[in-house]
């Protein structure tokens, strides 16, 4: 099965630091507005998803949720979670006090990859 999300080593290192400090985590990738389009990291359960939102996979045992409308737009893309040294747009994410910002790089799946994508989970 082809994963829909992966992470860079820098992102994995930061997730591990945040897990030690905060316990179980979750990510939410919204479609814009106040939180921008960067992924937000919360303590698990610290953000309430909407009906139809989609979990596209796990990064370091952490669910990565995507806004239902954004998923429709990006369902043919692979996400790579990365981190940069910067203060994010929203400032609500757990990495903000560390002067870091998670970000996503995208690429389109190949036709071969599309045939064997990992299943997603929807909020019903």
What are the residue ranges spanned by the domains of the chain? 5-112
pTM: 0.93
CATH topology of domain 5-112: Hypothetical Protein Aq_1857; Chain: A; (2.60.300)
In this structure, what are the phi and psi dihedrals at residue 90, rounded to the nearest 5 degrees?
A: -80, -40
Q: pLDDT tens-digit profile of 60-80?
A: 999 999 999 999 999 999 999
**Residue 31 — pLDDT band, cuts 50, 70, 90?**
confident
> 80-109 burial, b for 16+ CB within 10 Å, e for fewer?
bbbbeeeebbbeebbbbeeebbbbbeeeeb
């Amino acid at each position: 099965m082809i994963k829909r999300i992966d992470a860079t080593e820098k992102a994995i290192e930061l997730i591990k630091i945040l897990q030690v400090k905060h316990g179980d985590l979750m990510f939410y990738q919204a479609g814009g507005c106040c939180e921008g389009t960067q992924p937000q990291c919360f303590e698990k359960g610290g953000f309430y998803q909407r009906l139809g939102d989609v979990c596209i996979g796990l990064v370091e045992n952490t669910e990565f949720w995507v806004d239902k409308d954004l998923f429709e737009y990006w369902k043919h893309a692979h996400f790579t979670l990365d981190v940069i040294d910067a203060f994010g747009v929203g400032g609500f994410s757990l990495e903000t006090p560390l002067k870091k910002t998670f970000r996503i790089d995208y690429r389109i799946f190949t036709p071969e990859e599309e045939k064997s994508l990992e299943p997603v989970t929807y909020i019903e």
